[in-house]
Structure 1
Amino acid sequence: MSNSIAFFKMPAIAAYQLAVKQGDAAVEKLAARKDVKAEVDYFRNNIQSVKSVEDLFKDRRMMKFILDATDLGKETDKMGFLKKVLTQKAEDSDALMNKLVDKRFKAAATLLQLGEKGLGQVQRESTKDDLAELYVKNKYNAGLATQNSGVPLAMYLKENASGVRSTYDILGDARLRHVVTTALGLPLELANQSVEAQAAAIEKRMKVSDLKDPKFVDKLAKRFLMASDTGSGTGGADQWKLNLFA
């Protein structure tokens, strides 16, 4: 049986329903693809021989793998900035990652713990497993985005909605914020209001407890996709990236 997996342009709802139907099987199929497996194997086979954090950043192929795994793959042209952020300690309130709106940097630093443990954490088997899994998942999401750019965001909502404890969790996550506000028909100008006002606007239209209901989450995801496909709502599927700099 072939390990190939292909992605084609599709209407948002159709692409989303296909992704939900295929589930983990599609991700596993992608993991077996030759080019994907080659990068995972390169990381696993070589990370133990890296002697220092400095050497890690000099290995462009390995860093590309790590950045792709931690959702920072498109930032490879900012290696100096990445090195500064990712080698600081996540719990340090003065660390640059704690001052950035984009929380991907802190999430990556927390996983890698280069500032706290050098290579100790990234060379652990459990971390290697996590990075390999994340790498494949992000490659899969990139493929979904070629079908329709809104689909990975809809899937992100589906996978993370149950962990939302308050409206502020939504507002603190650029992707969740974009999906929810778009699905609820809230305008871009909402970002100019206070955080309390933004939370109130969301709470007026939905209950956070509803995100525990898979049927509600599925309906919300589809509303987001319909709005993204028609160009209505808060500016299309890629607007969340622009909101990081708002």
Structure 2
Amino acid sequence: MSFAPVVPMGGYAGWAFLTRTLDAQKSAFLKDSAIQRDEAYFREKIGSVRTAEELVSDRRLLNVALTAFGLEDDINNKAFLRKILEDGTLKPDGLGNRLADKRYLEFSKAFGFGDFPVPNTVLSDFPQKILARYEARRFEAAVGEQNEDMRLALNARRELADIAKRSMSVDAKWYTALGSPPLRQVIQTALGLPRSFSQVDIDKQLVILKDRAESALGTTDLKDMADPAQAEKLVRLFLVRSQMQSDLSGANDGSTALTLLQQSQAARSRLSLYL
């Protein structure tokens, strides 16, 4: 029997349960035989891939590669993906550099087909680097099937930590965050900004976001926001505000409470089988 992540309730209470049981849940999830087979295939085959065409022609390899960057919905857009990979990241007019969603740029950079004579796929540690991302994304996606806010929160915590490690200016870190739709959604919601905020001029967005972050979190630096305590505060703001938005959409409170109680009891019983 494959393991489905347990999220017994929404909001911050659900997040507290998820983070408390995260290691055990993720370990149980990754034991799934299909995941194990796909990882074994990737380890065996990726080292022999030398071109973007070879990668996009192998659907099984491509699925793992795309999932590692949250781009699995593009699995059938082979010409588009090949163009991104072949253009690389060094040319300003490359497709990855021209797209607002910077996950494509990270995807291209990781494989290096358009940047180097010999791609990164030949490096001995390459498979494990990609599979670590793949496992994180697969688990987050499975959590999202139970509660999308929890998926976004897990993603935000991971992406903030990744951005914090990069050698770039404070503003460049913000622009990187804004280039990730899932992370942008968490930050905007946490800081009390509507989705339509993305239509504002990008430089104006940065001014407003830094001002809101200073007021809510006491910092304008995403590196500080990646600190575990600060990241937790950001997630809490996101979950509380997202739940408030859901409540305002007209959900029946009594019916919702009963459903959550029933789900919680069933979820705890299910999780106990794996702990």
Shorter-chain TM range is 0.7 to 0.9
Contact 2:50/2:119 (<8 A) preserved: no
Instruction: Name stretches of at least 5 consecutive residues in structure 2 with no aligned partner.
Output: 165-169, 215-219, 250-275
In the superposition, relative to structure 1, how do residues 119 and 62 fare at CA in structure 2: closer, same or farther (>3 Å)? farther
Paired residue type of 1:198: Q
Q: Shift of the alpha carbon at 1:49?
A: 4.3
Query: What CA deviation, in whole Å up to 9, does each residue of 1:21-53 have, x standing for no partner?
Result: 234443333333211110000111223444654
In structure 2, distance between residues paired with 1:36 and 1:76: 17
Partner of 1:72: 71
CA distance in 2, matches of 1:155, 1:104: 16
Q: How large is the Cα RMSD of the aligned pairs?
A: 2.7
In structure 2, what is the Cα distance between the partners aligned to 1:78 and 1:168? Answer: 26
Deviations 1:131-187 (A, max 9, x none): 111111111011110121011221222234354534444434333322111112112
Q: Secondary structure at the match of 1:6?
A: coil
- Structure 2 equivalent of residue 7 of structure 1: 5
1:206-236 deviation line (CA, Å, top 9, x unaligned)? 222451543332122122122223436xx9x
Q: 2:185 aligned with 1:186, yes or no?
A: no
AA in 1 matched with 2:198: A
Q: 1: CA distance between counterparts of 2:111 and 2:193?
A: 36
How far the C-alpha of 1:112 sits from its partner, in A, is: 0.4
Q: Would the aligned equivalents of 1:171 and 1:199 in 2 still touch at CA under 8 Å?
A: no
Q: Is 1:93 aligned to residue 92 of structure 2?
A: yes
Q: Distance in 1 between matches of 2:117 and 2:146?
A: 39
**Residue of structure 2 equivalent to 1:157:** 156
- The more displaced of 205-214 and 215-224 is 205-214
CA contact (8 A) 1:89 1:95 kept: yes
Contact 1:144 1:152 in 2 (8 A): yes
Query: Which residue of structure 1 lines up, in the alignment, with residue 239 of structure 2?
Result: 225
Residue type at the aligned position of 1:231: Q
Counterpart residue type for residue 232 of structure 2: D
CA contact (8 A) 1:43 1:65 kept: yes
How far apart, in 2, do the equivalents of 1:51 and 1:171 lie? 32
Cα distance 1:157–1:105, how it changes in 2: closer, same or farther (>3 A)? same
The 8 Å contact of residues 52 and 85 in structure 2, kept in 1 or not, is answered as no
2:85–2:113: 8 Å Cα contact kept in structure 1?
A: yes
Any runs of at least 4 consecutive aligned residues in structure 1 with deviations exceeding 6 A, and if so which? none
- Note closer, same or farther for the CA distance 1:47–1:108 as it changes in structure 2 (3 Å cut): same
Q: Distance in 2 between matches of 1:231 and 1:65?
A: 34
Partner of 1:43: 42
Structure 1: runs of 5+ lacking an equivalent: 236-246
CA contact (8 A) 1:158 1:217 kept: yes
Please identify the structure whose Cα radius of gyration is greater.
2
Who is 1:244 aligned against?
Answer: none
TM-score between both structures, scaled by the size of structure 1: 0.81
Q: 1:186 to 1:47 in 2, by over 3 A?
A: closer
User: Given the two structures, how large is their TM-score scaled by the length of structure 2?
Assistant: 0.74
**Alpha-carbon separation, structure 2, partners of 1:92 and 1:185:** 36
| 1:1-246 → structure 2 map (5 Å cutoff) | 4-8=2-6, 10-50=9-49, 52-117=51-116, 120-161=119-160, 163-164=163-164, 165-166=170-171, 167-207=174-214, 208-209=220-221, 211-231=225-245
